[in-house]
Structure 1
Amino acid sequence: MWTSARPPAPTRSGPSPLRLAVLLLALGAGGAAQAQLFADNDARKAIIDLRARLDQNAENLRASQTASERLRTELTDLVKQLQRSVLELNTQNEQLRTELAAQRGNIEQILRDLGELQRRLADQSQTLDQRLRKLEPQRVGLDGREFLAQTSETRDYNDALTLLRQGDFVAAASALKAFQSRYPESGYLNSVRYWLGNALYGKREYAGAIESFRALVLTQPDHPRAPEALLAVANCQIELKDNKAARATLDELVRTFPKSEAATAARERLSTLK
């Protein structure tokens, strides 16, 4: 450190040229130093600011890298999760396809079973209809008359007549008597009486035959076979050697049914009957 001697007191006439020059020189040097000082401070501040910006940029870069790594990790986890989900979905879809295939097979089997059941029901329904039709009364035409008869009536009647045509009078008479007991209200009844009389005549049971023929004439005198029944009664009476009764029956026949073929036969029989 240095000190300078006190300058002499100025005079009223002002500073000397020398002092003025020194002063100006000092002022110039101080301004230059001051300017240099300002320049150094600006540079230092600029460097500090630059370093701060660099540090901030580095920090931002690290933060960005950290965020990128975190994002990459999250994305990786998300991709893995999606892959697992897709795999699970594929597995579930495969299971569903398997189950659907099995269900489709079950449905096809059910449809086949249903079709078979429907076919059987249709067959059973048709069979039942046929049976019901057999059980339902059927319209029958016999000896100029029409009536309703059960299938069993027609069957039993025809079976009995078959026996009679075969000459099995015993079995035919038994079948015709059974028919009378089983179907007392049948439309076949008077025809059964006529054929029963013939079966009994074939068995030589003339009294029973007369009774059956007479029952036909009494219950239905307008029956187409009534004239034949009276002629058969007369034949039975002739077989019983009761010519008087036979003549009376033949007269009744000619009187009641004069235009019938049986009446013509009765007239011939009367001419020879003593």
Structure 2
Amino acid sequence: MPALSRTFTALGLAGLLVLPAQAGIFDDDEARRAILDLRQKLEASNEANRAKQAELNVQMADQLSQLKRSLLDLNNQLESVRAELARMRGQDEQLARDVAELQRRSKDAQSGIDERIRKLEPVSVTLDDKQFLADPEEKRQYDEAFALIRKGDFGAASAGLSGFLKRYPLSGYADSATFWLGNAQYGQRQYKEAIASFRTLLSGNPAHPKAPEAMLAIANCQIELKESKAARKTIGDLVQAYPKSEAAQAGRERLASLK
């Protein structure tokens, strides 16, 4: 028995010695398989990550491309807006120029109308203690003819006053124009014509302020025509009709020289 016990003990010890060795072998295989599994999982994970990264890269590229197209479209829209604004600005500037030109033309037209109205509007005139209305053209023609009298251009003055009286026979200037026409004729030594003009004034308006001078002028014309008798009668009529006038005083002095 003791020998047998020793045999079992030896076998037990041998078994114990074999078990750790087998356990060591088992652990190494498991570890290798675990490492392989881990490597496979890691490789699979890396592959999945690479695939996902590639997919993300594609998506980002698409998004970037879309963003570029959107930016390009936006830029084109901005350019269109700028062009439209420039066109509208140009239209506004042209419109402003057109409005300014229209205003200028309107102002010129209004000025022209006002000028024409002024030329047609009667003006108030005071002449030889008489106030009346005259057309601007009427006044201009009389003033021009009278200015010729002042210059001593009796021929032109006579023509101007004759034309004036034909055009404006009822003018407020008519009596004065007739008187100065007689003076212009006298200045040309047209004594008979001058007498006719002065008598026209006297018959038409004997109360005219120039009437005494007209009578004295008739007497002077008669003296120039050597009609002394007629001149004395005219001066007598002058003194009788307008005794206090300067023309009557001058007539008296002239009458004395005729004696």
Which whole-Å CA distance do the structure 2 matches of 1:124 and 1:171 have between them?
37
| Residue from 100, 104, 109 that aligns with 2:85 | 100
Per the TM alignment, residue 238 of structure 1 is displaced from its structure 2 partner at its CA by 1.4
Which whole-Å CA distance do the structure 1 matches of 2:207 and 2:136 have between them?
26
Q: Which residue of 2 aligns with 1:268?
A: 253
Q: Which residue of 2 aligns with 1:214?
A: 199
| Residue from 216, 223, 233 that aligns with 2:208 | 223
1:213 corresponds to which letter in structure 2?
A: F
Per the TM alignment, residue 213 of structure 1 is displaced from its structure 2 partner at its CA by 0.4
SS for the counterpart of 2:152 is coil
| Residue from 240, 245, 254 that aligns with 1:255 | 240
Q: Which residue of 2 aligns with 1:50?
A: none
SS for the counterpart of 1:147 is strand
1:152 corresponds to which letter in structure 2?
A: E
Per the TM alignment, residue 87 of structure 1 is displaced from its structure 2 partner at its CA by 4.3
Question: Structure 1 or 2: larger helix share?
Answer: 2
SS for the counterpart of 1:140 is strand
SS for the counterpart of 1:141 is strand
1:177 corresponds to which letter in structure 2?
A: S
Which whole-Å CA distance do the structure 2 matches of 1:270 and 1:127 have between them?
58
Unaligned 5+ residue runs, structure 2?
1-54
Q: Which residue of 2 aligns with 1:91?
A: 76
Which whole-Å CA distance do the structure 2 matches of 1:141 and 1:134 have between them?
19
| Residue from 144, 148, 173 that aligns with 2:129 | 144
Which whole-Å CA distance do the structure 1 matches of 2:161 and 2:212 have between them?
21
Per the TM alignment, residue 226 of structure 1 is displaced from its structure 2 partner at its CA by 0.8
- Per-residue deviation, residues 214-262 of structure 1 (Å, max 9, x unmatched): 1111111111111100110111111122222212211221121111111
259-268 vs 162-171, which deviates more?
A: 162-171
Q: Spell out the pairing of 1:1-274 with structure 2 (5 A cutoff).
A: 84=69, 87-274=72-259
- Normalising by structure 1, what TM-score? 0.66
Per the TM alignment, residue 89 of structure 1 is displaced from its structure 2 partner at its CA by 4.4
Bigger Rg over Cα: 1
Which whole-Å CA distance do the structure 2 matches of 1:214 and 1:240 have between them?
16
SS for the counterpart of 1:216 is helix
- How large is the RMSD of aligned CA atoms in angstroms? 2.8
Identity rate, percent: 55
- Normalising by structure 2, what TM-score? 0.70
SS for the counterpart of 1:258 is coil
Which whole-Å CA distance do the structure 2 matches of 1:216 and 1:81 have between them?
107
Q: Which residue of 1 aligns with 2:26?
A: none
Number of aligned residue pairs: give it.
207
Which whole-Å CA distance do the structure 2 matches of 1:84 and 1:186 have between them?
90
Q: Following superposition, which runs of at least 4 residues in structure 1 exceed 6 angstroms of deviation?
A: 75-83
SS for the counterpart of 1:191 is helix
SS for the counterpart of 1:157 is helix
SS for the counterpart of 1:262 is helix
